[in-house]
C-alpha cells in the first residue's frame, strides 16, 4: 500500500494533483504537470520571479511559453499586490527594469504613451532603474503593459516582495560574470597573439592557423554572451524604428567579429579576436563603473536621507511624533487635515475624504469607508483619521510622486540634453563613421578605412558628455540631504542657482511659536475646553497643534458632525449641535468683542469665549542669514499676521518697503507672480500651510518643516527647521555646482572632439578607443566628485 501511494504521489502534480503524463517540470524536488503549476508554486512560496525566468526563459522556448511568460499577472490578487495605486479608471505601478542604462532608454520609456493609448504617462528613475507608469486599466491590463515593455527590449524583473536591493545585486553579479568571461578570453587571446605583435614570423607561420582558431574560439563566448546585451538592445531599438546609443557599438562589435571570422576561416589573416575581446571587456568595465556609482547615489538618497517630516503615531494609547523612516507595518498613525498619507494604510476611524491629486493629478476628493485601503500620497481634506499601516514607507515612491510630470512642468537645458542626444546623436555618429570609411576607402587605404569606421563608432559614444550633469547634481543632492535640505530632483538645484529674489513667510519660517509664552485670555468651561481641543487636534497648523498640546492631558475627545478648515482664516466645526469657530480675529471674532489683542480667537454658538495669545521667537541665526543673503538677493517678507513685529523686522531686512503684513494665501500668490512678471527669479520660503499657492507658483519653492507632516507637493524642496542657518550656504553651493557642470561639459566635449579627430584619421585602433571610453567616464566621475567635495568643505556642508 505504501509503495502504491508513493508511485501515485510521484505521478501527480504537486500543485493541482492532476496526473503528470508526458513532460515534467521539477522545482525543489517537486513535480508539476505544466509550466503554469510550477510558476504558481514559485509565486505562492514567495520566490523571486527571476527564478521563474531562469527556469523558463531559455533559448528555444516555444512561442506559447513566451506568450504565457507573464500569465500570472492575470490573477487579480497578484496584480493588485504590485500596484501602487488604483481607482475606477486609473492604475499606477512601479517596475524595476535593469536594462535602463542610457539617455535613449529614458526617452523611450517615457514615450510609452506614444506606443499605446492606454498609457497615460511614464516617468523613469535612472538611479534606481525603475519606471513608474500611470495607465488606464480598462484599455491596458498590467499583463499587457509588462508585455509591451518586454516587446521594446525592457522586460521588468517582477517580485511579490520588496527586494529591490536583491534585484540590484543580481543584476550587478550578472554584469560581473560577463566581465569575468570577457577578461579571461581577452587575456588569453592577447597571449596567443604575441607572435604577431612582436613579428616572430617563423613561429607564427607554423602555428598561425592553430592560434587563429583558438582566438576565434575565445571570441565566441565574448561575442554571444558578454556582448549580448548590446545586440539585444539594438535589435529592440530597430524594431521600434529608433536608434539608441547601443546601435553603433553593436555594429562595431559585429563588424570586428565578421571580419575576424572571415580572415581566420579563409586563412588570409590573423583576425582581430584580441581586439574584439578587449573592446567588449573595456565597454563592460565602463558600464560597471557607471552602475556602481549610480547604485551608491541611489543608496545615499533612499536609505540615509529621509524627508525631514514626521508622523503622529499611536503607541500604547499615547500620541507620539516619530520620523517618517521609523514607521513600520502594523503601526497606527493619525493623519490630520491637509496631511499626506505616508504609506498604504487601512482606515480604522474617522471620515476620510482623500485628495489624490498628488498621485493622479485629479483634485476631486474621494470618500473612503472604514476598512478600505488608502494609498500613499493621498491628502486628507477633512477631520483627523486613524489608519493602520499595511505597507512600509517607500522613500523612492514618495520621491517619484513628487517628481511626477504634473508636479514639474518647467524644463531647462540640462533636463532635455540627454533626450536630444538619444534622438539625433546616433544617426550623426553613423554618418561620420560611414563618411570616414568612404573617404579612406576611396583613397585606396582599406585598413585605415576599417580602423576609422570602427573607432568612430566606439569613441563617439557621448556617455561622458551625458553623465557630467547627472553625476554632479546627484552628488549635490547627497550633500544637501545630509544637511537637512531634501531637494525634489536635480532640476530644483538648477533653478536654485538662478534665483535672485527671496520671499519669506513669517510664522513657521523665520519664526517659531514659543513654548513658555502661551496663555488664554477669557474663560472656558470643561466641556468648551474639550470642544476646542477636539477641533484643534484635527488641524496641522502650528497654533492649532499648540492649543491641542496644551489641552491634551485634561480634555476628552468629542465627536464632530462637520469640519471645515480655511487656509489663512481658521476652522469651523460642529460638536453636539454647537457651531465652533477658531481662527483669526476677522474670522472668529465680532466688532462687539472686548478682546482687542492679536491671537487665535475662539467662538462658540456666536459668543466669543476668548483668545489664545502666543508669542513668537525668531529662528536661531536669523540676523546672520538675512545679512548674508542681502548681499546677493532681493529680500521680501509676506506675513498673514498683523504689524506688531514690523519694527523688529525692519531692523533685519534691508528694505522696509518689501515687508508685507495681513497677507492672505491669495495675496501671497499674486505678490510672487507680480515679482515674476518683473523678470525676477523668485524663491518662496514658507511652511507649506498658508502659502502652498505661492510655493507652487515661485520658480523655487522651499517648505520649512519642524517635526510635522506638512509636506507640500507644490514645493521643490523641504528644509528642516534646524538647518535654517545654512540657507545662505545652500544657495552659494548650488551656484558653485553649476560651475562644476560647465567645467565638466568642457572636459567631456574636448575629449569627444579630440577622440573623434584621431578616429576619423584612422590613427586610433578600436581597442584604444574602447579603453578611452571607460577612462573618460572615470575622469568625469572623479572630477565631479572631487570638485563637489571641495566646495562642500568650503561651505561647511
Report how far residue 744's alpha carbon sits from residue 511's, in angstroms, rounded to the nearest whole number: 40
Q: Average pLDDT by consecutive 10-residue portion of the chain (797 residues)?
A: 39 59 59 51 42 38 50 76 81 84 71 86 79 89 87 75 50 80 86 64 61 86 87 76 71 80 77 78 74 56 51 82 80 85 86 77 76 83 86 66 50 42 68 86 81 74 61 81 82 87 87 74 87 87 82 82 84 89 82 67 86 82 90 88 81 86 86 91 83 84 72 75 90 90 80 80 69 70 85 89
Residue 731: predicted pLDDT: 94
C-alpha cell at 523: 474663560
Task: Classify residue 201 by burial, with Cβ atoms within 10 Å: 0-12, 13-18, 19+.
Answer: exposed
Fold of 71-158: Alpha-Beta Plaits (3.30.70)
Report how far residue 393's alpha carbon sits from residue 330's, in angstroms, rounded to the nearest whole number: 12
Report how far residue 67's alpha carbon sits from residue 628's, in angstroms, rounded to the nearest whole number: 64
For domain 446-510+619-797, the CATH class is alpha beta
Residue 406: predicted pLDDT: 46
Report how far residue 790's alpha carbon sits from residue 402's, in angstroms, rounded to the nearest whole number: 30
- CB hemisphere CA count around 29 (13 angstroms): 0
Report how far residue 137's alpha carbon sits from residue 593's, in angstroms, rounded to the nearest whole number: 58
Fold of 513-617: Calcium-transporting ATPase, cytoplasmic domain N (3.40.1110)
Q: Is 637 helix (H, G, I), strand (E, B) or coil?
A: strand
Q: What is the dihedral of CA 687, 692, 693, 697, to 10 degrees?
A: 70
Residue 327: predicted pLDDT: 82
Residue 55: predicted pLDDT: 37
Domain ranges of the chain: 2-55, 71-158, 307-401, 446-510+619-797, 513-617
CB 373 within 8 A of CB 352: no
Going 260 to 264 to 266 to 268, the CA torsion angle's sign is positive
Counting residues of the chain whose pLDDT is more than 90, the rounded percentage is: 6
Give the closest residue to 380 by CA, choosing from 338, 410, 422.
338
Residue 274: predicted pLDDT: 79
- On whether the 307-401 domain is CATH 2.160.10.10, my answer is no
Residue 766: predicted pLDDT: 62
Q: What is the dihedral of CA 288, 293, 295, 296, to 10 degrees?
A: 140
The model carries a pTM of: 0.61
Question: DSSP E strands: which ranges in 640-795?
Answer: 659-660, 682-686, 700-705, 717-720
Report how far residue 247's alpha carbon sits from residue 457's, in angstroms, rounded to the nearest whole number: 9
Q: What is the mean pLDDT of the chain?
A: 76
CB 481 within 8 A of CB 676: no
Q: What is the dihedral of CA 347, 348, 349, 352, to 10 degrees?
A: 10
Amino acid at each position: 500500500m505504501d509503495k502504491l501511494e508513493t508511485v501515485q504521489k510521484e505521478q501527480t502534480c504537486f500543485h493541482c494533483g492532476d496526473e503528470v503524463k508526458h513532460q515534467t517540470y521539477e522545482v525543489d524536488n517537486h513535480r508539476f504537470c505544466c509550466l503554469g503549476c510550477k510558476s504558481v508554486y514559485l509565486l505562492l512560496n514567495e520566490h523571486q520571479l527571476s527564478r521563474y525566468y531562469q527556469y523558463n526563459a531559455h533559448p528555444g522556448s516555444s512561442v506559447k511559453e513566451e506568450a504565457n511568460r507573464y500569465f500570472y499577472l492575470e490573477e487579480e490578487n497578484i496584480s493588485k499586490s504590485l500596484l501602487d495605486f488604483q481607482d475606477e479608471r486609473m492604475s499606477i505601478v512601479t517596475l524595476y527594469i535593469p536594462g535602463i542604462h542610457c539617455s535613449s532608454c529614458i526617452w523611450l520609456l517615457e514615450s510609452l504613451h506614444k506606443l499605446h493609448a492606454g498609457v497615460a504617462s511614464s516617468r523613469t528613475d535612472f538611479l534606481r532603474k525603475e519606471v513608474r507608469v500611470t495607465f488606464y486599466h480598462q484599455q491596458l491590463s498590467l499583463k499587457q503593459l509588462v508585455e509591451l515593455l518586454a516587446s521594446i527590449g525592457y522586460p521588468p524583473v517582477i517580485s511579490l516582495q520588496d527586494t529591490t536591493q536583491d534585484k540590484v545585486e543580481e543584476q550587478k553579479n550578472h554584469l560581473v560574470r560577463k566581465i569575468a568571461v570577457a577578461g579571461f578570453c581577452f587575456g588569453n587571446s592577447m597571449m596567443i597573439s604575441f607572435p604577431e605583435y612582436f613579428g616572430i614570423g617563423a613561429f607564427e607561420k607554423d602555428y598561425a592557423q592553430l592560434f587563429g582558431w583558438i582566438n576565434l574560439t575565445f571570441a565566441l563566448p565574448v561575442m554571444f554572451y558578454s556582448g549580448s546585451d548590446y545586440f539585444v538592445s539594438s535589435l529592440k531599438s530597430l524594431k521600434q524604428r529608433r536608434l539608441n546609443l547601443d546601435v553603433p557599438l553593436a555594429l562595431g562589435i559585429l563588424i570586428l567579429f565578421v571580419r575576424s571570422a572571415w580572415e581566420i576561416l579563409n586563412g588570409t589573416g590573423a583576425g582581430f579576436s584580441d581586439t574584439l575581446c578587449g573592446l567588449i571587456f573595456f565597454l563592460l568595465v565602463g558600464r560597471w563603473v557607471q552602475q556602481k556609482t549610480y547604485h551608491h547615489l541611489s543608496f545615499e538618497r533612499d536609505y540615509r536621507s529621509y524627508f525631514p517630516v514626521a508622523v503622529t503615531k499611536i503607541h500604547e494609547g499615547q500620541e507620539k511624533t516619530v520620523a517618517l523612516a521609523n514607521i513600520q507595518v502594523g503601526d497606527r498613525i493619525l493623519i490630520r487635515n491637509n496631511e499626506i498619507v505616508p504609506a498604504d494604510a487601512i482606515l480604522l476611524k474617522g471620515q476620510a475624504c482623500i485628495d489624490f491629486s498628488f498621485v493622479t493629478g485629479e483634485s476631486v476628493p474621494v470618500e473612503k469607508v472604514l476598512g478600505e485601503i488608502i494609498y500613499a500620497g493621498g491628502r486628507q481634506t477633512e477631520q483627523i483619521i486613524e489608519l493602520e499601516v499595511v505597507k512600509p514607507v517607500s522613500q523612492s515612491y514618495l520621491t517619484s510622486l513628487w517628481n511626477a510630470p504634473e508636479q514639474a512642468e518647467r524644463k531647462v537645458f540640462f533636463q532635455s540634453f540627454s533626450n536630444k542626444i538619444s534622438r539625433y546623436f546616433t544617426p550623426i555618429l553613423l554618418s561620420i563613421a560611414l563618411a570616414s570609411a568612404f573617404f579612406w576607402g576611396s583613397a585606396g587605404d582599406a585598413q585605415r578605412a576599417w580602423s576609422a569606421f570602427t573607432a568612430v563608432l566606439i569613441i563617439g559614444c557621448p556617455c561622458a558628455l551625458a553623465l557630467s550633469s547627472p553625476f554632479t547634481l546627484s552628488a549635490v543632492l547627497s550633500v544637501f540631504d545630509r544637511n537637512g535640505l531634501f531637494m525634489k530632483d536635480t532640476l530644483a538645484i538648477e533653478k536654485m542657482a538662478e534665483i535672485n529674489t527671496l520671499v519669506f513667510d513669517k510664522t513657521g519660517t523665520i519664526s517659531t511659536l514659543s513654548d513658555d509664552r502661551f496663555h488664554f485670555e477669557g474663560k472656558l468651561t470643561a466641556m468648551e475646553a474639550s470642544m476646542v481641543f477636539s477641533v484643534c487636534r484635527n488641524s496641522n497648523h502650528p497654533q492649532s497643534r499648540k492649543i491641542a498640546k496644551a489641552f491634551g492631558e485634561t480634555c476628552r475627545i468629542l465627536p464632530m458632525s462637520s469640519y471645515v478648515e480655511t487656509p489663512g482664516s481658521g476652522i469651523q466645526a460642529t460638536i453636539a449641535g454647537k457651531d465652533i469657530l477658531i481662527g483669526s480675529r476677522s474670522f472668529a471674532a465680532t466688532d462687539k468683542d472686548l478682546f482687542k489683542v492679536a491671537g487665535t480667537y475662539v467662538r462658540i454658538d456666536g459668543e466669543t469665549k476668548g483668545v489664545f495669545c502666543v508669542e513668537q521667537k525668531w529662528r536661531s541665526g536669523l540676523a546672520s542669514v538675512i545679512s548674508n543673503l542681502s548681499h546677493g538677493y532681493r529680500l521680501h517678507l509676506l506675513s498673514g499676521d498683523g504689524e506688531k513685529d514690523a519694527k523688529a523686522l525692519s531692523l533685519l531686512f534691508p528694505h522696509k518697503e518689501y515687508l508685507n503684513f495681513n497677507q492672505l494665501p491669495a495675496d501671497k500668490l499674486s505678490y510672487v507672480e507680480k515679482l515674476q512678471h518683473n523678470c525676477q527669479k523668485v524663491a518662496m520660503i514658507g511652511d507649506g500651510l498658508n502659502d502652498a499657492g505661492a510655493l507652487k507658483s515661485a520658480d523655487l519653492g522651499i517648505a520649512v518643516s519642524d517635526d510635522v507632516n506638512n509636506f507640500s507637493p507644490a514645493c521643490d524642496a523641504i528644509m528642516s527647521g534646524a538647518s535654517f542657518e545654512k540657507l545662505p550656504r545652500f544657495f552659494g553651493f548650488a551656484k558653485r555646482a553649476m560651475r562644476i557642470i560647465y567645467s565638466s561639459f568642457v572636459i567631456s566635449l574636448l575629449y569627444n572632439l579630440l577622440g573623434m579627430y584621431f578616429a576619423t584619421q584612422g590613427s586610433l585602433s578600436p581597442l584604444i578607443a574602447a579603453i578611452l571610453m571607460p577612462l573618460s567616464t572615470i575622469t568625469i566621475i572623479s572630477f565631479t566628485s572631487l570638485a563637489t567635495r571641495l566646495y562642500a568643505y568650503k561651505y561647511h556642508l
